[in-house]
Structures are given as structure tokens and as C-alpha cells.
Structure 1
């Protein structure tokens, strides 16, 4: 038995040596963290007594002042079936912005995700599928490079450029004002990062809830201090916006390759590359406080400004193994790959934060080992106090006053660390989660410790950290609406409704008339009526069809809708039902445009499909920038003079209306501009006094020859009222008299 006692005493001595090394290392790390705390609170107090006494906090309404610039959202997608549709739907219904496009990177060997994205693209014209050149899964950086290449191709085909390029994952929930914020800053800043705040789960989900503790402190305190001291911001990989200048510089730097394909944390890497090029980076905590916020239920001690910042929300991994995989990837990318790629620089402040990034590889081991030592000492103390006739051993701290002092210092630093974390979790999530963060400390340390071992093992196995393969982490997505619904082909609907047969459909598809889509071709050839087309389009869009008379719309309702809005979206206001504005359109309105209409009209909106031409003639009558002769009035005057009967006038009008079409439809049908690009161009056109064709030529979107061809085609396809009147027997002299009276 004595030899066991001697062995245990030797073990305790070894534990004392380890405890001394741990205490010294933890003191250094603790002082480092304390320095960040002091800087943060000093700056905050100083700004409270200086800057914010002279200036009020910027109101979020300032974000609406700049015109909407075109923004591209880049989303890598590997095995993301069922997620992209939710993201697009949530973005369309919640984003307070319209001029954006989502580019989704898929892989040739992932047909399920491709099929899902195809269905989404049908419903959302601003969503574009990108197929990567190589089978997946490649690195996220490789997928982003493929997306960037597709964006540049889209820019060339659409003849316009994006001002900002935004990183997001498929499972991200984007704040409604995020794009407004990026739009406001992208002309002045080259990298813009907003906070990430994970969604809460039940308190028993310790793994995913440990993320809210880490991100609340990291994006509440550490990154703002980093930006203030070093002027450098690490991208979080989501909620990051790059200016066009930054992307072009990265493309030039990499000879056409912007993101490092061998990096597991390409976002972290880019922050340093842009900083080295002298570009400006900013971390933005911008609150948007709703007018009714005071009446909402809030968590105890949740701070209003902190809890309403524009941020990215998402669910993080909820199992131990997935969290370890994700964090080990971060460690390999930031610590091992980062050390090999980014050596120590000439800037002391930047080197200091490089040290803080890399010390995690050591501090994760230290904190976990310290916990193991502490648990053993506590168990030993319990044994000696409660076990009868227990062996009594001297404390490993006996006779070492300096070690005891060191441990007391570390205890104080640890209490400060816990206190700081509780504060930053509380201000966003409330006191309950702030206190629960104390319970999650051990579990979070265990995850980080295991992730460190896994990262170290992978680096040793591969011999080079840059050879470690991308290990994608799976996420959850919050539930929004139901399943995505792909649009049924219009021809199939017309066949099912008995309007046409298969032979007529094939003939129309093969011999489609220039400047007209399928429905227009069928109407022009008198295969179907405008009412039949409207019924088919209504079924395709999931709305109702309704014939309208634009001249019967109350003028007060017409004045409710600005000219620019009516002409941009090609809609007419019909009526208001239970507070909802009912609009008439001749084609489907995509969810992004419908949400924008609701914002611009400041009320809920829904739409019906009107037969072809009814909205067009209504727009010309009520909203046209250059008013022409009123064709309806011309026809009525002919009836009043008894040159035509009422029945003849009705027939002429029914022939005239379906043959009226918008110039934009001809351009889209010809393939000169696609629908997504046209939507972006029309946003800019709202501020122009030119005719649409002249504006497009001025912008370099189409040539003067294309404009002339499209106008000539419109003239050929449309039928004029004077022509129909002459065909009905009205003489040239009578027609001139009618036009003079109608002028």
C-alpha cells in the first residue's frame, strides 16, 4: 500500500509542475483578454461623454437616402436540398430592398440541389443557378470563384455592374435592412462585416447554445476593438459585403481567381489581403429599432440598441461531432493555414491580433487541462474530507506563496472573463441566457479542446495544413412558408384547360413570332383569346383572373399610385379590400417585386391577372409620360357621330386591346435583356426623364440599331386605332376630324 501512496504523492508533485506552467500561461492569456476589455470599456465610456453628447445616434431612415445599387449575394450550396427555396422566399418577403440578385453555386454531381434551385429560379427571377466546373464537394472558396465567374458573365450579358458582393450561406436569415446598410456604405468601404447572432434553442442544447456565448462576446466586443486599434476586420464568411473595387483587386491579384481554393477559411484570409492593399474595412453594429418595440415582449435586461442591430441569424450545429468538425476547420484555416500564409507583419498592432487569433490553438488546451486539474483537486479534497480514515496529502500549493498569489490572480481574471461573457450574452439574449452561459463554459471548452486535437491530427496526417480537405458542416434552417412550388409550363396549362391542343402548342413553340412570347404568339394568330391566356397565367401564378376597364378606376385611386411605380411594375390599382390594395397585371409578379410594391404603397398588396392589353392601355391612359391620343375617346366620338354603331365599336375595341404590348416585353422576348436584368434597369429608369429605349441606349445596354429594330417590331405587332377605324369604313377626312376633336 505504501508504494501506492508514494506513487500518488509523485503524481501530485507532477500535477504541481503542470499547475505552475498552466498558471503562468493562463496569466499571460488572461492579461491579454483583460487588455481588450479595458480598451473596449474605455472607448465606450469616452464616446458616451464626447461623441454622443455632441451628436445623436444615426437614425435608420438615413439608409433610405442613397439610390438602390445592384448587389449580388453569393451562396455556395452543396447538399442543400430544401434550403435555398426557404432562403429566397424569406429574402423576398422580408428584405427592405429590391435591387439584388442571388447567385447559388451548385455542383454537377448534386442533382437534388440543382433541381431545387431550378424550381426556385422559376419563381424568383433574381435567383440564378451556377454549376461549378468540378464535382463537389470542393472548397467553399472554389465554389465562390465559380459564382464570381458567373456573375461577371451575367454582368456582360445584362450590360450592368454590381456595386457590392455579399457572402451568405444557404441557411442564413438576413436582416430586413442588411442590404440597405451595405448600399449606404459600399461606396466608401471595401469590406463591411455585420455581427452574427445564432438562434436560440432550448437551454438543454448545450452544443448549439455555446455558439451564442462565443459570438455574442466576439462580435459585441473583440472585433469592434480590433477594428478600432488595427483597422482590420476578419470576415465571418456570412454577412460580409465586398466593394467592387475590392473584388476587382482580388481578381487581379489572383490572375482571375479571387478566393484561395486551398484555404478552409477564405473569408479570414481575404480580410488580411485587402488590408495589405490599403483598403478600408469596417465592422458595423447598426441598430434598427421598430416604432412599436417598446410594446413588444422583451427578455429581462436585454438592451434595446444591442438587441436590434442589423445582423445575420442562423442555427449552428447541435451535435457534438458536427460542432467539432466545424471548429476544427476554423482552427486549421485560421491557426495553421493562416500562420503559413500570413507571416508576422511590420505592424505591431496587426501582429498583436494575429497572436490573438493563433493563441486559440494553445488556450483551448490550457483551459481544458486546467479544468481537469481542478476537478482532480476537488475530488481529492472531497475524499479527504468525507472518507473515514482517508489518507491526507499536503496541498500542491503548500509552501508556494507566489503560486497561491498567481492562482488568485488567475481566479480574478477568470471571474472577469465570466462576467464579460454574461454581459454580452445578456444585452442581446437577456439575463437568463447570460447566466446559463456560465453553465455552458465547460461544455464549450470540451468542444474546443476536441476540435483542437482533431485539427492537429489532420495537419499531422496530411503533412501540410493546406492539403486538408473542406469538411462542410450541416445546419438547420428556420421554418418559413410551405414547400417550394415550381411553375407549371404555360403550354401545358392551356392544353389542360382545353384552349389548345398539342399540335398547336408545338407549332407555336417552333414558329414563335419575333418580339412575342408563347401567349402573345397564340393570341396574335387567334388560336386563343386574351381571356383564355389570362386564365392560364392566373392558374400558373396561383392568383385569380379578372377582366378590367381601366377607364372605370376612380381617379383618386389612380393618384394613390405614383407614375414611376405603375410604369415600373406595369400594374394598375383596382380597389382596396379590407386594407389590401388589389392590383391588375398582365403577367405574374415575382415575390421580390410584390414585396417592394407593398413597401412603396405602404399597405398590403395582392394582384390579379387581367387579359392581355387591358393594363397596357390603362397605363397609357393614366400614367404615360408622353400622353397620346385617347383611343377610347376616339372610338366613342365616332359612335356619337353615328359613323359607327355601339356593337361595331365594341368589336373594334376587343380587337384593339389584345394587340397592345409594352416595349420592355419586346426587348425581353428578343433576348436582348433578361427579366432579372430588366428589373434592375427599371429601378434606375424611375429617375430618368428619357423614354425607356433612349435610356437603355444611353446606359449602353442596347445599341441604337437594336432600339430601332424593337420599335419597328412593336409598330408591326401593335394595331392602331386609326387603322381599325378605317377598316370599319371611317374615311380619312372623318378620321382627321375625330383626331382634331380628340387632341
Structure 2
């Protein structure tokens, strides 16, 4: 028995060190991104913004010209698509826009919901995919692209930009003006995504949905800003994203279609391909007017652990695994670094699992007086991990507080535990899904159920 306990203590010692090394590397990686963001923010404040007033969506819209097409893929979205399309067309009442909604012949409920709205607004265009659903989202988008080309011939006009949205999105009234202006200069224009926090579905569902708010608050206020500053490719979030119509035509001429149906994360890959073919992407985070109000896309995200794991597993399988094999490691040092950060999710999940497991074993061994001994250097490593963790929690709270207030900033701290659990569970599911696809399983649209806000959030 003593030998077994000793062996367990030694194994726990090694497992804890493995986890600590992994957490330290990841923490230093995150710290470097934080420091670049701090330096960039400070530099812009003391140089650029002292000479020039920050841009606003209002100012950009004054220079907008040309029609914008908005693509919304929809598979079994009858509960939300009508509300989404109605709200979008109301907010874009004065814009030169056409809203395309792509659905499938074996989804009559969604078709009916779209037709109801289209009967009252000719700017809504129903596109029925020739293949029964679900195919991939990219295949759905390509069907809308072909419909748009036909419309251009019929209208005798070309769209200047194509914007992407999902069926649950709450759009911003200033979006179209931004795309119509900036997509003449840039090939990809990505706006921030703000996750809506559940308010009336119970405390647990609120807790789950809010962890998305935490992650997007940080990644879309810091991560994408740093990517752009370093000159790395700006990945599309798939929503709130405007694409140059000419760019999509170039991609279609080169690959046969603008959206690749061979992937489940076509939006992410499209953003990186823009960079690879010499295009320019930009992340645009700006107020609607001098009075403020962030121009962003708002949406509800999954509010159950099961749904969150399914969604994030699809993201991880497409970005961390398929993205590695499909896109490789092209580009310069900054591009390599950002792609590594995108693809570290599976490895990070393993490190987190080892960290939690070794922590539990250390507590159990300490309770029986058989905990392993650590050297001063090893204890210093644990101290570094602790300091990096506290810094990370502080940065997360800072960005959450800027959007949602300090009550949510404080609540974001315990939500990290839930986010870590979801990350570990989704990594396992992503690995299984990737192996199935590698063995020849067909790609399908593994979508989640969506909600549309009962009360429209303020812009």
C-alpha cells in the first residue's frame, strides 16, 4: 500500500509540473498579447488621437455609396428568422441593401417564415438551395452568391459588398454604411460581436450564456486589435463581417466558389485566405456617433452546457484541427504566432485537465500526509503560474466591465471555471469529430438552437 501511495505521489509530482509548464507558456503568450495591446493603446492616445478625432460610423456613412448584399444562411430557423429579418430591415429602412436568406426545400417552416416577411418588403430575397438540408453553411452561402449574381444582371448594378449574418443576430443600423464605405478600400471588414446575457431563463442559463460574453468582450476588444496591428490575417467571425464583392469574385474565379463547402468553419478560413491572396482585412471598432454607442452585432449564444460544448467543438474541429491541415503555416512570424494561438485549444484543454486532476490529487495526498515535495525552482514555477492567472483574471474583468459593467466583471471571475470545463469537453468532442471526418464521414451543418431577444437591445 505504501508503495502504491508513493508511486501516486511521484506521478502527481510529474503531472503537476507538466501542467505548470504548459500553463506558464500559455500565460506568457497571453501576457505578450496584453502588453502589445497596452502599448498600442497608449501610443494611439498620445499621438494619433491628439491630432485627429476618432472616426465614427456616422462620418463613414456620409461617404457610403453602392448597394450591399447581406447573406443569412438558415436551416430550421423558423422560430427566429422572421423576427431577425423584420428587425434588420427596419433598422436598415433607409439603406441601399438587399437581404438574402438561404434555406432548404425540406425546411418548409423556415421558408414560410421568410415568405411572410418578404411579402411586405421586396428587399428580402428568399433563396432555396437546390439540395436538401442540411449541407454545410458554405454551400448555403454559395447558393445565395449565385442568386445575387442573377440579381445583378437583372438590376444592371453590382453590389459593392457582401455582409454575413446569422439567423439570430441583432444588427446595427450603422453597419451597411460602414461596409459600403470601407469595402471599397479593404477586402474584409469585421465588426465586434457582443454576446447578449440571458436575463430571464434562470441563474444557470444566465451563467452559461455569460461566459460567451466574457470571451467575446476580450477577444473582440483586444485579440483582433493586436492581430491587425501586427499585420496578421483578421479572421472573419461569420457575423458582422463585410466582404468586398470583387474579392469574393476573385476567390470564386480561383477556387470555383467564394465559400469553401469542404469546411465547417468557412468564415474563419475565408478571413485567412484574404490575407494569403494579397487582400487587406480590418477590424473596425468605433462608436456610432460623437455621443458614443459601440457599433456591434449582438446575439444570444447557447445557454446550456451541452449546446455550448457542441458549438465550441465545431469551432475547435474546424480551426484547431482542420485549419492546421487545410491552411498550414503560411505567412510571416506574426501570422505563424496568431495561427498557433488559434490552434492551441486542444493542447490547452489537455493542460487544463492535467492541472485540475493534479490539484485534486495533491489535496488528497496532503490530507493523508503523503504529498510530494517540490524544489524551490518548482515552487517558483507555481508562483509564476499563479501570478499569470491573476493577471489574466484581471484583464478579463477589465474588458467585461467596459461593456457590461462591474457587476458582470466580478461575475466573470468564477465563470472562468465553467469556461475551462466547456473547453475541455468540447476539445474531446472536436477530436472525435475530426477523426470521423478524416475517415470520410460527410460534412454537415451541426447547428445549435437559437433565440432572438424578446425586447430589442439598444444600439
TM-score of the two chains, using structure 2 as the length reference: 0.94
Tell me how far 1:466 sits from its aligned partner. Answer: 8.1
Q: Where do 1:40-439 residues align within 5 Å?
A: 40-95=37-92, 97-202=94-199, 204=204, 205-255=206-256, 257-289=257-289, 291=291, 308-378=293-363, 380-381=365-366, 384=367, 391-393=368-370, 395-396=371-372, 398-439=373-414
Q: Distance in 1 between matches of 2:436 and 2:42?
A: 49
Q: Secondary structure at the match of 1:123?
A: coil
Tell me how far 1:320 sits from its aligned partner. Answer: 1.1
* 1:18 to 2:15 alignment: yes
Q: Distance in 1 between matches of 2:437 and 2:210?
A: 32
Tell me how far 1:470 sits from its aligned partner. Answer: 2.6
Cα pair distance change 1:464/1:31, threshold 3 Å = farther
Q: Secondary structure at the match of 1:288?
A: strand
Q: Distance in 2 between matches of 1:119 and 1:248?
A: 32
Q: Distance in 1 between matches of 2:354 and 2:208?
A: 20
Q: Distance in 2 between matches of 1:58 and 1:437?
A: 31
Q: Distance in 2 between matches of 1:375 and 1:53?
A: 52
Tell me how far 1:464 sits from its aligned partner. Answer: 4.6
Task: Report which structure shows greater RCO (CA 8 Å, sep ≥6).
Answer: 2
Q: Would you say the 8 A contact 1:68–1:97 is kept in 2?
A: no
Q: Distance in 2 between matches of 1:145 and 1:461?
A: 25
Q: Would you say the 8 A contact 1:163–1:243 is kept in 2?
A: yes
Q: Distance in 2 between matches of 1:235 and 1:241?
A: 9
Report the more deviating stretch, 204-213 or 105-114: 204-213
Tell me how far 1:469 sits from its aligned partner. Answer: 3.1
Q: Distance in 1 between matches of 2:121 and 2:107?
A: 21
Q: Distance in 2 between matches of 1:329 and 1:162?
A: 31
Q: Distance in 2 between matches of 1:109 and 1:31?
A: 50
Match of 2:420 in 1: 445
Q: Distance in 2 between matches of 1:13 and 1:458?
A: 35
Q: Where do 1:675-694 residues align within 5 Å?
A: none
Q: Distance in 2 between matches of 1:130 and 1:112?
A: 14
Tell me how far 1:290 sits from its aligned partner. Answer: 7.1
Q: Would you say the 8 A contact 2:57–2:177 is kept in 1?
A: no
Q: Secondary structure at the match of 2:272?
A: helix
Tell me how far 1:334 sits from its aligned partner. Answer: 0.4
Larger Rg: 1
Q: Distance in 1 between matches of 2:406 and 2:365?
A: 34
Q: Where do 1:263-662 residues align within 5 Å?
A: 263-289=263-289, 291=291, 308-378=293-363, 380-381=365-366, 384=367, 391-393=368-370, 395-396=371-372, 398-464=373-439, 467-479=442-454
Q: Tell me how many residue pairs correspond in the alignment.
A: 452
Tell me how far 1:479 sits from its aligned partner. Answer: 2.2
Q: Distance in 2 between matches of 1:286 and 1:116?
A: 34
Tell me how far 1:369 sits from its aligned partner. Answer: 2.7
Q: Distance in 2 between matches of 1:466 and 1:402?
A: 48
Q: Would you say the 8 A contact 2:20–2:385 is kept in 1?
A: yes
Tell me how far 1:431 sits from its aligned partner. Answer: 0.6
Q: Distance in 2 between matches of 1:288 and 1:380?
A: 57
Q: Distance in 2 between matches of 1:130 and 1:232?
A: 31
Gaps of 5+ in 2: none
Cα RMSD for the two superposed structures: 1.8
Q: Distance in 2 between matches of 1:405 and 1:102?
A: 57
Q: Distance in 1 between matches of 2:254 and 2:426?
A: 33
Q: Distance in 2 between matches of 1:422 and 1:379?
A: 32
Q: Secondary structure at the match of 1:402?
A: helix
Q: Would you say the 8 A contact 2:56–2:290 is kept in 1?
A: no
Cα pair distance change 1:174/1:466, threshold 3 Å = farther
Q: Secondary structure at the match of 2:287?
A: coil
Q: Would you say the 8 A contact 2:397–2:409 is kept in 1?
A: yes
Q: Secondary structure at the match of 1:118?
A: helix
